[in-house]
Structures are given as C-alpha cells and as structure tokens.
Chains A and B, each alone.
Chain A
Amino acid sequence: GQQVMQIPQYQHVQEGEDFTTYCNSSTTLSNIQWYKQRPGGHPVFLIQLVKSGEVKKQKRLTFQFGEAKKNSSLHITATQTTDVGTYFCAGVMEYGNKLVFGAGTILRVKS
C-alpha cells in the first residue's frame, strides 16, 4: 500500500540548535504538505510543495521536495521554544486525492 515514512520519530534539541525531519514515500507524489500539531491540538497547515526540486522558505523554516518527488525535508534553523510540537509530512500520491500522513516527528526544545 501507499506509505509515507518519516524520521526521526523524536528529537530533543537545545534552543538555538537546528532541527531537520525527513520524509520518504514509497511512490511518486503529486504534492507534499507539511503540518504542525501542538499537544492537544489539530494539524495546522504549514506549506505545500508541488514541483520537483522545489525549495520554499518561511522565516526559519526551509522545506524541500526531492527531484524524484518521493522525498521531502523540513529544516528549522536556530530552534525556539515556540517550535515545539509534532511535524507531519503528508503526501498526495500521483493520480490520488487523499493525503497519506507520515508518523510525525516530535520536537522538544530545551531552553
């Protein structure tokens, strides 16, 4: 079946350190979307990537979509305590219409 794998499962960093989470799909994706979920909250949309090799930045967050459209990454520069939460990637398969989520990466930031 369609699978989206995400690593690491958990990362605990010192405030100011960088953080990266990686996402891999078993099949080619039409697009990939990234979400952030705070404890007790719901997934909040961060960004969508559509084009092969696409790179997008949002302040300290950098999102990449691989050339083969099967992998993606989210990099946070100089983490802050407000970055804590679970980051999910979710892919839409080519010729598909639903989002398939990775298991998420839990980020904890120690001040």
Chain B
Amino acid sequence: DTGVSQDPRHKITKRGQNVTFRCDPISEHNRLYWYRQTLGQGPEFLTYFQNEAQLEKSRLLSDRFSAERPKGSFSTLEIQRTEQGDSAMYLCASSLASGRRNTIYFGEGSWLTVV
C-alpha cells in the first residue's frame, strides 16, 4: 500500500498521560498535514510541514501539542498531559504541491480516547 499510513490506529490512554502518533506520507510528497476530527464535524487543521519545516500552526494547537518532521519524511504528533477533550481522530495527510494543484490525501486516522 503506497498511501498515507498512520500508527497506531487506535489508542486509549488515561488522562494526564502522553501519547505519540506517527505518520508516513506518500513517499514523494513534500507537504504533510495534521488534522483533528471529532464526531459530526469536519476535519480541523492543526499544522503542516513543507519538507522538514513546520510552516503553519493552528491556534487550536496548544502548547501540549508538538509535531515534528525531522528528515522531511515521516512525522510525529505528540500530545502531552492528555485531557478528555483531546479525544478525537487525528488525521495525517500529504500532498505534492505544484502550482495551484495541491491534492491532499488522507491516512486512515488515529483514534484517541482519553479516559
């Protein structure tokens, strides 16, 4: 499978614990995005990278959230001191930006439940 892959697919954690999600984008894609989606809502933008540079972060991304893409390939999203409100599906997406065409492909998501 050459699509966007995410790991783990499901994570249940206790409030206050740290969690980390990993995303492997489509191999030739230079942009990588993180989104969050809760039930009944559309995905909300969190942050994106162009190669290894983090170019934009949403105000939704509190200081408990940190994302990295150290070598411009895979990315990690870490949530520290999780809260129940962090329960959501965390979606990673990637694209190969070229002019106005920037088709963005999503992974299957990582479901987080904070208990």
A-side residues, CB < 8 A to B, are 6, 30-31, 33, 35, 41-45, 48, 50, 88, 90, 92, 97-104
Contacts and interface: CB of A to CB of B under 8 A. Distances in A.
Interface residues of B, number: 26
Interface in B69-115: 89, 91, 93, 97, 100-109
A92 B97 CA distance: 12
A20 to B, nearest CB: 18
B8 interface: no
B22 to A, nearest CB: 16
Interface of B: 31, 33, 35, 41-45, 48, 50, 55-56, 89, 91, 93, 97, 100-109
Contacts of A97: 31, 48, 50, 55-56, 97, 102
A42 B106 contact: yes
Contacts of A35: 106
B44 A42 contact: no
A1 to B, nearest CB: 9
Determine the main DSSP class of A at the interface with B: strand
A102 B101 CA distance: 19
A45 B39 CA distance: 19
A101 B42 contact: yes
Nearest to A35: B106
A85 to B, nearest CB: 13
Nearest to A103: B42
A45 B100 contact: no
